[in-house]
Chain A
């Protein structure tokens, strides 16, 4: 277990319009947001949280060329070396006929690879129980979890969240992750951002 047990202050918001300024204020005050759990994808939240650009597309590209190479090399081996067939007198090395299959394998490799990578990055896997900070995060609440360090004054932080519009605030101890390469290390500090 890479993460270990950590202490979190959890604030729940019921409106996007309150959530965005709150994210900004929390980061500005120097607190570290572990994550924000939302019932649906919220446009621009990643940007507001200062998350770096995901590397999922780069991974997808690499899987895609792996697929392309696999398809082309396998088919050319089969049809020219292993089992050449005469199909309507066309050449054995029949590139045009292979393009559709090459395309399919490219898409298949990148799709499957990206799903698995996505699960890895989000630390999702069968038989792994993730801690839920609030059950209503899957329904109608925006749940912000702030990681406490030994210097964090959690009473002060709770007050701060309340002032910024959180409807429900509590303190929880939870396992943060089970894998290396955790996403929360990749956050930009507020003061490193443009226009600070």
Chain B
């Protein structure tokens, strides 16, 4: 059996097609939305409208870069967590999340550029706390200014992206090194596993400090700077982790269709499906808890976030529809469709659910970013749908490159046999 993946013509066609669509959308945005026009301050209704196009440009870029970066980064988290748990079942498919995590540096740089353009371009329409005048006269924002300021934002974003990149690269290089070093005996294997565990735990600690706490606060929650939620980061993490697992599932089925990954069976797919199912439910738990805590503790000042989205009892907000579509796509569909054992073992159904979940959580990110930025004028046209195509194209390009240059099976991993005979 040949463990080498060759990029097929149709894969190439789709990759460059999507990148092409994305680039066209981006150019269209550059020309039509004047992204570098100065932000209009206050002013009348007309001024607001003039500014909204460039706001829309940056909001869409922020939504997509944050989402797709965190999605590909979730793959490395999956590898590290299973490594620390001494999991053996995932070894047969480990090259797939590895390949996906190799996109982190590319999307990391893109995301960093977008964030810097927003921060140092003084986009007060995206982040209200960038407005020095407003912060001075606002006790809440003033109190948060030790955390929400351009310097800290820049340094911490840079450190986070760099650490995901470097620690992830270390995990990947350990894995690729094992291909060259040949079969390990008991002692070498033990040492190698220990080394993996140490790096994986470092990654996980840093992941907790960044993705599971500070990064969503800075990148997304600070859009609604007056509001805060202790659930927000976990909610974002659950959102991207479940999408990350869906992406892994889609790639597994794709490679399996190409006749590759011979050791991956329904049993492995079943376990990946369990992740998709369980984390969809986990996401809903956080999604609901965020609302529930405010409801129960009677905090009218914190309802702002939901009023902007759902609206009030008398008047439904502009995001009312998308808010509930979000719940249907990300909770009801996975819950009811993936509940049965047979569904998690069906190759085609899992691909369908994978696409559904990725789209669903993309919409989730849309409703996280848009209400605080473009406010009452949500749009979903060529630009909004074209930009994600660029990101998907880049992911396909980099993943395809990694898969085609490295063996698809970690043949020297001490746990490979455990994975081959895996049975649920």
Contacts and interface: CB of A to CB of B under 8 A. Distances in A.
A53 B295 CA distance: 43
B55 to A, nearest CB: 32
A96 B296 CA distance: 9
Nearest to B298: A88
A90 B295 CA distance: 9
A14 to B, nearest CB: 22
B339 interface: yes
B288 A99 contact: yes
A-side interface size class? 10 to 19
Contacts of B423: 43-44
B341 A96 contact: no
Given A90-B295, A91-B313, 16 more contacts: A43-B423, A44-B423, A53-B341, A57-B340, A57-B341, A61-B339, A88-B298, A96-B288, A96-B291, A96-B292, A96-B295, A97-B295, A97-B296, A99-B288, A99-B292, A100-B292
Nearest to A90: B295
Interface in B373-416: none
Interface string B323-342: 00000000000000001110
Interface of B: 288, 291-292, 295-296, 298, 313, 339-341, 423
Interface string A131-154: 000000000000000000000000
Contacts of A44: 423
B240 to A, nearest CB: 24
Contacts of B341: 53, 57
Contacts of A96: 288, 291-292, 295
A165 B11 CA distance: 53
Interface string A48-72: 0000010001000100000000000
A99 B293 CA distance: 12
Interface in A77-109: 88, 90-91, 96-97, 99-100
Contacts of B295: 90, 96-97
A147 B341 CA distance: 31
Contacts of A91: 313
A42 to B, nearest CB: 11
B9 to A, nearest CB: 35
Contacts of B340: 57
A100 B295 CA distance: 13
B383 to A, nearest CB: 35
